[in-house]
Structure 1
Amino acid sequence: MNQHIYIVEDDPNIRDIVKAYLIKEGYQVTMMETAEDAWENAKKQQPNMWILDIMLPGMDGYELCKKIRARSEVPIIIISAKDEEVDKILGLELGSDDYLTKPFSPRELVARVKRLFKRLENSPMVQKKTNTVEIDDLKMDQAARQVFWRDQEIDVTTKEFDMLEIFAKRPNRAFAREELLSLVWGEDYFGSDRAVDDLVKRLRKKLEGLPVETVWGYGYRLHIDEEQS
């Protein structure tokens, strides 16, 4: 087991306990006290999973979660003393994959880590060979930047390919329009989020039947029935 987990937590007792349990299960663990340190480390080496506390000195866990998700699809688990539903919803909307309320059992955290890794391994998105993504009727060659829909090659633009790739790598995850703007057009883009709507419209037209669903008032997701995948 070579998964490397970054844990950002300013409580030394929680850090030590969580680290001990995860190392016992065979994970490689790096501990950090601040979001700023974690972000600098991530620029040098990306982990296989993040575990983030929310209440951190300086940049909080929500902001770090948002920054991570703008650049990477790595799994994120949020741990927090905040147990209000609105806090959990905010964490999930910012891109976290799970939310655990303090106080928690270290065994439960380990179980959630294992479950999340297993869920990703069993995702309907299958990478059968390097640079190839297949999910239901969609096939993408990332190296050649080719798209095949129902065994027919479809001509797509650069941004159409980029957005489709984002959806295909994380099926059933809802992406906010602002997040898609950042991922496809870059963080320095200052145009309207209508550009996202237009791009989705073009993809739906070119790949007729592509199950990209509108999440009203939020954004879009590629809906895949996992039981039938």
Structure 2
Amino acid sequence: MNEQALIAIVDDDDHIRTLLQAYLHKENFRTIGLSTAEDAWVLAQTNPPALWILDIMLPGMDGYELCRRIREKGEVPIVMISAKDDEVDKILGLELGSDDYMVKPFSPRELVARVKRQLERWMKVNGGDRRFTESNGDELIAVGALQLNVLERRIFWQHAEIDLTSKEYEMVKVLASHPNRAFTRDELLTHVWGDDYFGSDRAVDHLIKRIRKKIDLPIEAVWGHGYRMRIEKGDA
């Protein structure tokens, strides 16, 4: 892990920003503190950080909207922080693409530990295509109207290239590499997030939901189990 990674802290509470920056500096991280989502969005487009720490309640644009915009740009880790501890708020944060959610007040040391885990996991996921190379050594994976160029990490649906984030691509690759196989949520968590992921398996459901909005893939839920890519004979 690159301990000089830039961490952006978006919170309108000066005390919280200063406190978190101090703890992150002790771990040799670089930080930038921002008090509004509007300023953070400018940063996202000009000099995006390695990880975001986002408060939900912000003046103007809130943390949810900022999270949604950041996630549309890519798969950079996002940790949301909030005084709201209702389950619906946590679920909304996950649905919009956050990787973790912490309720105030929290231990700054715990937040730093979670930041480290998220960055380590991101590097594992984005460190190259390591999975299924023995069973799928060809450059292309083709399933019906879906094609994946493994070496270039590009995906095509009905001959049109589709823009997917890293985790979306990994999820499609796992399912397309084994059509009709039913994967458990735990298996998909391991393949896409890494074997040290400790969050909720609802992250799988939210990622599948995001993929379905972009591509009309035949991904079906296997109730009480997980998901599979259903391919009829003659389509593969």
Q: TM-score range by the shorter chain?
A: 0.5 to 0.7
The 3 A distance-change label for structure 1 pair 30 and 155 is: closer
Q: 1:107 aligns with which of 109, 130, 137?
A: 109
Answer yes or no: is 1:30 the counterpart of 2:32: yes
Give matches, 1:36-47, under 5 Å. Answer: 36-47=38-49
Runs of 5+ consecutive residues of structure 1 not aligned to the other structure: 128-132, 185-195, 202-211, 223-229
Q: 1:118 aligns with which of 111, 120, 133?
A: 120
CA distance in 1, matches of 2:166, 2:83: 35
Answer yes or no: is 1:57 the counterpart of 2:59: yes
- Structure-2 residue corresponding to 1:168: 169
TM-fit CA distance, 1:213: 5.4
Q: 2:149 aligns with which of 133, 141, 147?
A: 147
Tell me which moved more, 110-119 or 97-106: 110-119
TM-fit CA distance, 1:120: 2.5
TM-fit CA distance, 1:166: 5.5
CA distance in 1, matches of 2:24, 2:130: 32
Conserved? CA contact 2:6–2:31, under 8 Å: yes
Runs of 5+ consecutive residues of structure 2 not aligned to the other structure: 140-146, 172-191, 194-203, 230-236
TM-fit CA distance, 1:74: 0.2
User: Which one-letter code corresponds to 1:168 in the other structure?
Assistant: Y
Q: What is the DSSP-based 3-state SS (H/G/I as helix, E as strand, rest coil) of the residue aligned with 1:135?
A: coil
Conserved? CA contact 2:41–2:66, under 8 Å: yes
- Structure-1 residue corresponding to 2:181: none
- Structure-2 residue corresponding to 1:77: 79
Q: Deviations over 1:182-225 (max 9, x none)?
A: xx5xxxxxxxxxxx22xx13xxxxxxxxxx55499xxx899xxx
The 3 A distance-change label for structure 1 pair 2 and 169 is: farther
- Structure-1 residue corresponding to 2:234: none
Identity rate of aligned residues, in percent?
48
Conserved? CA contact 2:82–2:102, under 8 Å: yes
CA distance in 1, matches of 2:120, 2:167: 20
The 3 A distance-change label for structure 1 pair 52 and 165 is: closer
The 3 A distance-change label for structure 1 pair 16 and 178 is: same
Conserved? CA contact 2:83–2:104, under 8 Å: yes
TM-score relative to the length of structure 1: 0.67
Cα RMSD after superposing both structures: 3.4
CA distance in 2, matches of 1:30, 1:221: 41
Q: What is the DSSP-based 3-state SS (H/G/I as helix, E as strand, rest coil) of the residue aligned with 1:114?
A: helix
The 3 A distance-change label for structure 1 pair 49 and 169 is: farther
- Structure-1 residue corresponding to 2:97: 95
The 3 A distance-change label for structure 1 pair 213 and 2 is: farther
TM-score relative to the length of structure 2: 0.65
CA distance in 1, matches of 2:96, 2:56: 12
Answer yes or no: is 1:10 the counterpart of 2:12: yes
The 3 A distance-change label for structure 1 pair 159 and 122 is: same
Q: What is the DSSP-based 3-state SS (H/G/I as helix, E as strand, rest coil) of the residue aligned with 2:52?
A: strand
- Structure-2 residue corresponding to 1:135: 131
- Structure-2 residue corresponding to 1:207: none
Which structure exhibits the higher relative contact order, with contacts defined as CA atoms closer than 8 Å and separated by 6 or more residues?
Answer: 2
The 3 A distance-change label for structure 1 pair 14 and 139 is: farther
